[in-house]
Amino acid sequence: MLRSRSTIQSVGQSLFKTMAYCAVVFILTSLCASTAQAERIKNLADIEGVRSNALVGYGLVVGLNATGDTSNSSPFTINSITAMLERFGINVRPNISTVKPKNIAAVMITAELPPFARPGQELDVTVSSLGDAKSLFGGTLLLSPLLGGNGQVYAVAQGALSGGGFSASGNGSTTTKGHPTVARIPNGAHIEKAAPTMLKNNQEQVVLTLRHPDFSTAMHMRDTINAYFGSDMAQATDAGTIKVWNPEGNSVDLIAQLEQINVSVDHAAVVVLDERTGTIVMGQDVQIDTVAVAHGSISVSVTESPQVSQPNAFAGGQTTTVERTDVEVTHAEAQLVVLPKQVSLSELVKALNAVGATPSDLIAVLQAIKAAGALHAELRVI
């Protein structure tokens, strides 16, 4: 009896160890699988109240090599030059008709003011021609204020332009490389006023806004946040908004922790079609029902072959041109391909390629499958 009991105990211990080992392997496998499909909240959502602000300004670029605005097509450039010179005590209004701004161009200046930017920091600016200047290559932007949407000045820009394009012309030809009427000034603007922000460190809650609203992703994000903090801190109010309570009154620490949490993402089945370029993009969740696809193109060729009809020497007629038109219609052989139900994305692409269709034809095939109710995905035409 003692031997049998010891044997039973050893078998039980071995069985327990085996079951524990299998459980650990299962948990690790599940964690690895979930991690492989997970994404950080930092890459999925934005923080409400944290955003950049667009800045815009008007200015003059000087020092161009006779590639600036013309006085006939850009009268506002003349007015800007006149106003600028008057600020330096130079009056050119009596002789304004003689001003030729071929070395000066009026430009629009744009920049992005990042959140939490402070006075003294620098911004990159983009300078774009407003008139009929041929090129901004080699020019220098004069001091120009940059305004926000509320009309207040947040930065001032000035500096030498940096652009990869140029334009050269002669009497018989013109050569253009890149886009010579747009240039950039790295660190060309200095911030004079901090941008307003709606985020407070001691606010009651932090609001996450999904960049691609989805009910499943919002639910996963809410559950993952609550599991991470061990309490019901997060609440999903809709498909794109998750509110997280800030019990310690420290939004900075809370946001830093939220950004590093991994959340499983659920994507909708979408097929994006661009008919202008023939681009087709399909997600991995695209599925179709059993359907047969046949593709055959019809090409029509019209050839004009004019012929000259000349009468005999003593016939008394006139030489005329007779139009000859040859019309040829070619029917390409249609290839019938059966696509099974719930085919994978790779198999769907392989089957559509087997049909022998061009990208524009594939767009028509996908639209026809969708019209037949066999394509379980949203078609987006851009």
Report percent pLDDT > 90 for the chain: 34
If pLDDT is split at 50, 70 and 90, which confidence band does 91 have? confident
Residue 200 token pair: 């407070």
Given strand 234-238, what is the order of strands in its sheet? 45-47, 205-210, 241-245, 234-238
Distance CA 68, CA 322 (A): 55
Token pair belonging to 371: 């019209």
CA distance 372 to 294: 14
Average pLDDT of the chain? 78
Count Cβ atoms below 10 Å from residue 31 Cβ, excluding itself.
11
Residue 243: band (very low, low, confident or very high) from pLDDT cuts 50, 70, 90: very high
**What is the C-alpha separation between 86 and 144, in angstroms, rounded?**
16
- Residue 302: φ, ψ to 5°: -115, 120
The Cα 273–Cα 380 span in angstroms is 6
Residue 305 is predicted with a pLDDT of: 65
Concatenating the DSSP letter of every residue in 11-32 gives: HHHHHHHHHHHHHHHHHHHHHH
Annotated domain spans of the chain = 53-191, 200-264, 270-310+321-381
Residue with tokens 């991690």: 35
Q: What mean pLDDT do residues 301-315 have? A: 64
The 10s digit of each residue's pLDDT in 137-154 is: 889 999 999 999 899 999
Residue 367: predicted pLDDT:
82
Rounded to 5 degrees, φ, ψ at 33 are: -65, -40
Out of 76-85, 228-237, 324-333, 356-365, least confident range: 324-333
Task: Compute the average pLDDT of residues 290-302.
Answer: 60
Per-residue pLDDT band at 58 (split at 50, 70, 90): very high
pLDDT at 12: 45
H or E element, residue 319 = none
- CB-based contacts of 309, cutoff 8 Å, min separation 6: 319, 320, 321, 322
Average pLDDT over residues 297-311: 59
Check: CB of residue 285 under 8 Å from CB of residue 59: no
The pLDDT value recorded for residue 175 is 65
Structure-token pair, residue 249: 């009154």
pTM exceeding the 0.75 threshold for the entire prediction: no
Which of 27-41, 59-73, 288-302, 327-341 comes out lowest in average pLDDT?
A: 27-41
**Integer Cα distance of 55 and 149 in angstroms:** 7
The DSSP secondary-structure symbol of 164 reads S
Q: How far apart are CA 354 and CA 344, in angstroms?
A: 15
Which CATH number is associated with domain 200-264?
A: 3.30.70
E-strand spans in 296-332?
Answer: 298-304, 307-309, 320-322, 325-331
Position 298 confidence tier, pLDDT thresholds 50, 70, 90 = very low
SS3 (DSSP) at 112: strand
- pLDDT reading at 29 higher than 60: no
31 half-sphere exposure, CB direction, 13 A CA radius: 6
